[in-house]
Chain A
């Protein structure tokens, strides 16, 4: 497995950690990169060249807010010239019609626009940005008018899960092709704010029923992807489609990572863009080979017939909940630490905590 891995299918390009929104669920590291340490334009264009040659087919531009960089448009154009499929993952609040039209003309293929709720009050409180929700509604309409394919990413947590019906309605209204009902995943700032974000089991069961009914009703009209919070799962998610198997992630400073939360795992030795080729890093960098495939597994994973379906779940979550990255993701009901995870869900899900530590560069205040 470690000698000749399949090439990566997708690149997650985290162009910057800067973002006007302050969402407490953000999965970026609590220690955010500053503007001065970001890779420059030329370095990113080089990354795109290397990624295309390596076999990457899709580039997800993410952050932070990727459009906070004025050179983002140039990167889209360059990716299109390399026939890379480009996806913009955005909060939308920095976009206007001129820029969107420019991006579409340069070859942008798809926009994923996040929503923090279905009402301005709720969404702006979660996003920590006054006027954000109304601006997002405008941007969603613009994206549709321009004819760019649109996915709404509804980030759901305890405070906004009751608005799920309205979120689905919004997606239909805007002619979105896809809706991602993304329950918060607990990494970075999300982990820090877990006790204010985790829903109760009742909330989650209602949401699941809502999604199932909407999928039936909207078949062929709206594709709904549904991400359940791992804390109430019985089986772990196939995180990143397997560690170092499909995705390559580059952070704003040019660190090459197997996933965006990988820096939370001690003992991994990351390399930086420019130090070696992307192909070499993908093939044999220690952080990539450490959990690639099944060689690192112990019981219950090693004899499990799902070991090559879910790949033992998420290494960063094992680290966060079990305190070790090399054990079964506690989201799995067979994992020794599964009860611990469930206990966290039950205790924190019903906690009456509503104050957030809002995301900001420099760490929580």
Chain B
């Protein structure tokens, strides 16, 4: 990679090698494990992250979440794009 990737609705996010989503049984929470870092996910973050399957585009993920949470698409869109961009900048998501 030589330039910062910017997320759009057509991006298809996936976890790069060395990044793992795991349910932490001892603490009853979801975590992203990455090189020498880890991120505990709250319910909202997990709802978004668990949609990532290396196949679906961001637009589909937004549609699904808008329906699931009965929320305006624009609002979901902002949350999803900013969170995924943040994880991509941290190097734990390929977009």
Contacts and interface: CB of A to CB of B under 8 A. Distances in A.
B26 interface: yes
Contact of B24 (A57, A60, A175, A221): A57
Contacts of A223: 90-91
B1 A149 contact: no
A110 B26 contact: no
B4 A219 contact: yes
A147 interface: yes
Range for the number of chain A residues in contact with chain B: 20 to 34
B4 A220 contact: yes
Interface stretch (B33-41, B43-51, B54-62, B66-74): B33-41
Interface string A172-183: 000101100000
A83 B19 CA distance: 13
B35 A151 contact: yes
Contacts of A175: 1
B35 A178 contact: yes
A127 to B, nearest CB: 22
A131 B4 CA distance: 35
Contacts of B90: 223
Interface residues of B, number: 23
Nearest to A172: B2
B18 A149 contact: yes
A57 to B, nearest CB: 6
B17 to A, nearest CB: 6
Given A54-B26, A177-B91, A223-B90, A87 B36 contact: yes
Contacts of B89: 219-220
B36 A220 contact: no
A9 B89 CA distance: 24
Contact of B26 (A7, A60, A85, A178): A7
A55 interface: yes
Nearest to B88: A220
Interface in B1-29: 1-5, 16-20, 22, 24, 26-27
Given A57-B24, A175-B1, A112 B36 contact: yes
Interface string A84-118: 01010000000000000000000001101000000
Contacts of B19: 149
A87 B35 contact: yes
Interface string A121-146: 00000000000000000000000000
A110 B35 contact: yes
B31 interface: yes
A83 B22 contact: yes
A148 interface: yes
Contacts of A220: 1, 3-5, 88-89
Given A109-B18, A223-B90, A58 B2 contact: no
A59 B19 CA distance: 14
B27 A7 contact: yes
A99 to B, nearest CB: 18
B27 A85 contact: no
Interface centre among A60, A110, A147 (most CB of B within 10 A): A110
Interface centre among A83, A87, A148, A177 (most CB of B within 10 A): A177
Interface centre among B17, B22, B24, B90 (most CB of A within 10 A): B17
Interface of A: 7, 9, 54-55, 57-58, 60, 83, 85, 87, 109-110, 112, 147-149, 151, 175, 177-178, 219-221, 223
Query: Lowest 8 A-B CB distances belong to which pairs?
Result: A220-B4, A149-B18, A55-B26, A110-B35, A85-B33, A177-B91, A223-B91, A109-B18
19 contacts: A7-B27, A54-B26, A55-B26, A57-B38, A83-B22, A85-B33, A87-B35, A109-B33, A112-B35, A147-B17, A148-B18, A149-B16, A149-B35, A151-B35, A177-B35, A178-B36, A219-B89, A221-B2, A221-B3
